[in-house]
Amino acid sequence: MARAEQRPVITLTLNPALDLTTGVPRVEPRLKLRCEDPREDPGGGGLNAARVIAELGGRVEAVYAAGGLPGDRLEELLGDGGLRGHRVRIAGSTRQSFAVHERETGRQFRFLLPGPELTEPELTACVDAVEALLAPGALLLVSGSMPPGVPPEALGRIAALGRDRGARVLVDVAGAPMREALRAGVFMARFNRPELEEFAGRALPDADERDAVIGALVDDGRAEVAIATVGGDGALVAARGHRFRMRPPVVVQRSPVGAGDSLMGAITLALARGWDLERACRLGVAAAAAAHMTPGTALCRREDVERLYEETTESVPG
């Protein structure tokens, strides 16, 4: 995947995390568990996607809110990784999350701490930082959880801002913020299965039902493209007059952390390089599969993505 011309890409992460990963022989109650040396990674949806874009040879401007000592460490890690970060300093301390790998069983335990409250002036500073980077033809990816203090309608305002500036807005958030973004209209919306079922208000046990939900978002103009991801079943994609499914190859599963972010990062980069939707989604599914192959909070590796891209298949629902 040679370096190629691309349109500007901006990611926005309002609730990043300093991710820690370690391991123990077995998780047991009451005992002192002696852990391995931890691995540290920048975390949060938009930052994970930005890391994937950089890993695949792309250029990205990553806007994120961060505060306290964990925020300082997050900034340091991003710099060490060569990522162009635009930190908005906040009063609260950036959250930490950690994952524990149980070596005897292969199970993984994930603990996600709550994020700091984001004040209205801090949110405005984040939006201003994004606005300064927007240009016609750019792609803006808004991804990850929303911190306390951010009203759902803020996502609608951000989506409208991107659209009015001539950018394509891709959204990978859940719940009420996703509804507000869709109300404003977005280029792409991505759901995993629990998020899609929450959005629909009912269980969606088969692909036809999931297809109907995402297809309705496209048909009524709330999204130009809608994607539903269901683990090993890959991604079901709806676009105007077009439905298809990308199936990932079978890989050795080590950790699911960051698979959805890897998918969105790869899709965003491919679209920025002018790829058509099918090829972009194929790259995204390959990146998600590659993320499953790496331990803890590590994301996909470029060589794995390139190999798995050739093994990812497309089908059209009957």
3-state secondary structure of 9: strand
**Can you tell me the distance from the alpha carbon of 147 to that of 68, in angstroms, rounded to the nearest whole number?**
15
Burial pattern 199-225, b for ≥16 Cβ within 10 A else e, equals bbeeebeeeeebbebbbebbeeebbbb
3-state secondary structure of 224: strand
Strand partners, 110: 99
For residues 146, 149, 151 and 156, what is the CA-based torsion angle, rounded to 10 degrees? -60
The residues, ordered by sequence, that sit 6+ positions from 6 with a Cβ below 8 Å of its Cβ are: 58, 59, 269, 272, 273, 274
What one-letter code names the amino acid at 130?
V
3-state secondary structure of 175: helix
Q: Which two tokens stand for residue 5?
A: 């011309």
Provide the annotated active-site residues.
Answer: 261
**Can you tell me the distance from the alpha carbon of 65 to that of 90, in angstroms, rounded to the nearest whole number?**
6
| Lookup result for tokens 């606005």 | 131
**Burial status of residue 125 (CB atoms within 10 A of its CB: 0-12, 13-18, 19 or more):** middle
